[in-house]
């Protein structure tokens, strides 16, 4: 069985936390794993957000069987989580599963350029809190007979598709980053803020923080009308 040797216990704990959050939204979630050298990228799609979440994991060495093998496999997020041994800083790669459509459509590896206009991380968190409060308030104001799934979905699309600041990034991408733990403060005791940055490459936008990235197509993932790799 393929064994991943993670850099340390903290790296293992962060990976486990990320997988747990994905499973909170979808108990049958899958993740696509790509590894080369001493880096592992874990891709997932949290249900209902219409974004891709990317967690980079540092490896002490790629595999138990050598350093010259790369990994690209879609697996069960639940099985992968169960295999994470935090004290040993290892994880076993489960058998491959038939991947969902999104797993065949990943953001480009290169060509990313900075996109201006993104507010600081504390403002992003405030934005998420405000729109969540707005959604709850507007829901409560609906008459019971109008509180249908279709109406709630319409309201949600209106709120979560709004651009963030002066950028084309939709609010749902920031909400996903907050929900997955990517927007938490770094070195809070020292009063330092984890930077959030926005990049663009082709039709893709990527919100990056030290804890992970959220990638989204400018028009949403929608139909898979892009190249597959």
Q: Please say which residue of 73, 104, 135 terminates a domain.
A: 104
Identify whether 204 is part of a domain. no
Identify whether 181 is part of a domain. yes
Instruction: Check pLDDT > 80 for residue 19.
Output: yes
Q: What pLDDT score was predicted for residue 221?
A: 45
Q: What is the pLDDT of residues 44-74, one digit of tens each?
A: 999 888 899 999 999 998 765 555 568 899 9
Instruction: Check pLDDT > 90 for residue 229.
Output: no
Do 89 and 122 share a domain, yes or no? no
Do 136 and 43 share a domain, yes or no? no
Q: What is the pLDDT of residues 126-164, one digit of tens each?
A: 999 999 999 889 888 888 888 888 888 888 888 889 999
Do 35 and 97 share a domain, yes or no? yes
Domain count, the chain: 2
Identify whether 219 is part of a domain. no
Q: What is the pLDDT of residues 97-134, one digit of tens each?
A: 998 999 999 999 899 999 999 999 999 999 999 999 99
What's the per-residue H, E or C state across the chain? CCEEEECCHHHHHHHHHHHHHHHHHCCCCEEEEEEECCEEEEEECCCCCCCEEEEEEEEEECECCECCCCEEEEEEHHHHHHHCECCCCEEECCCCCCCCHHHHCCCCCCCCEECCCCCCHHHHHHHHHHHHHHHHHHHHHCCHHHCCHHHHHHHHHHHHCCECCCCCCEHHHHHHHHHCCCCCCCCHHHCCCCCCEEEEECCEEEEEECCEEEEEECCCCCCCCCCCC
Do 10 and 96 share a domain, yes or no? yes
Do 68 and 125 share a domain, yes or no? no
Q: Which domain holds residue 149?
A: 115-194
Q: What is the pLDDT of residues 169-215, one digit of tens each?
A: 999 999 999 999 999 865 543 455 568 999 999 999 999 999 999 99
Task: State the CATH number of the domain containing residue 53.
Answer: 3.10.150
Do 144 and 99 share a domain, yes or no? no
Could you tell me if 101 and 46 are in contact, meaning their C-beta atoms sit under 8 angstroms apart?
no
Do 92 and 119 share a domain, yes or no? no
Do 119 and 97 share a domain, yes or no? no
Do 11 and 45 share a domain, yes or no? yes
* CA pair distance 82, 217, nearest whole angstrom: 31
* pTM for the model: 0.86
Do 24 and 83 share a domain, yes or no? yes
Identify whether 221 is part of a domain. no
Q: What percent of the chain has pLDDT over 70?
A: 87
């Amino acid at each position: 069985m393929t064994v991943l040797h993670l850099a340390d216990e903290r790296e293992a704990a962060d990976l486990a936390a990320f997988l747990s959050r994905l499973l909170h939204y979808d108990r049958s979630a899958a993740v696509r794993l790509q590894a080369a050298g001493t880096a592992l990228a874990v891709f997932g799609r949290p249900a209902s957000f219409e974004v891709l979440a990317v967690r980079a994991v540092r490896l002490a060495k790629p595999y138990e069987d050598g350093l010259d093998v790369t990994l690209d496999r879609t697996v069960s997020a639940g099985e992968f989580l169960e295999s994470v041994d935090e004290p040993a800083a290892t994880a076993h790669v489960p058998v491959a599963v038939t991947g969902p459509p999104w797993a065949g459509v990943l953001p480009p590896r290169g060509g990313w350029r900075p996109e201006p206009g993104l507010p600081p991380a504390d403002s992003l968190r405030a934005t998420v809190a405000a729109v969540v409060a707005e959604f709850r308030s507007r829901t409560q104001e609906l008459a019971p007979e109008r509180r249908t799934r279709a109406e709630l979905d319409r309201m949600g699309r209106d709120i979560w598709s709004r651009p963030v600041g002066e950028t084309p990034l939709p609010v749902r991408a920031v909400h996903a980053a907050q929900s997955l733990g990517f927007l938490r403060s770094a070195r809070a005791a020292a009063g330092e803020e984890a930077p959030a940055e926005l990049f663009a490459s082709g039709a893709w936008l990527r919100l990056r923080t030290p804890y992970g990235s959220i990638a989204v197509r400018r028009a949403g993932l929608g139909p898979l009308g892009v190249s597959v790799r």
